[in-house]
Amino acid sequence: MNEVKILIEFEDIGVIEGVLFDKVNPKTYAVVVSKIPFQSEANTWGKEVYFETPASASVENGERTVEVGDIGFWPPGKAMCVFYGPTPVSRGREPVAASPVNVIGKITKNVELLSKVIDGLKIKVKFA
């Protein structure tokens, strides 16, 4: 399995650390990793932060119900999604995506910072 460590820096809030891996969605992983570093702006949806990337991919092994801390790629929005709790379509505590996402990673440090993110916040994604 291939994996890389990344940092997602949120302006005025701090940095979360994560790892991207190719074990579930290798094509999506390869495309996203090839576009790092990049900058974007945050969007929030319940306890999910998502942001547009320069990557483009189709649904590979898409899932709607994910785990807290998962990093996914949402093909319709060309967006990276980071889940830290329930979304508006969740029925319990588990995060549920609006439509299938390709899980490509996991947050490893500072997931709690995501609760401070607001729409429009500037983001930088880079290798650790």
Exposure pattern of 83-107 as b/e (b: 16+ CB <10 Å)? bbebbeebeeeebbbbebbbbbbbb
pLDDT given at position 92: 92
35 contacts 55 by C-beta, under 8 angstroms: yes
User: Would you kindly state where each structural domain of the chain is located, as residue ranges?
Assistant: 3-127
pTM: 0.97
Low-confidence residues of the chain: pLDDT under 50:
none
pLDDT given at position 99: 97
d(CA 31, CA 109): 24
pLDDT given at position 108: 98
| Helix, strand, coil percentages for the chain (3-state, nearest 5) | 15, 45, 40
For the purposes of burial, counting CB atoms within 10 Å of the CB of 71, is it exposed (0-12), middle (13-18) or buried (19 or more)?
buried
3-state secondary structure of 116: helix
Q: Give the CATH fold of the 3-127 domain.
A: Cyclophilin (2.40.100)
3-state secondary structure of 44: strand
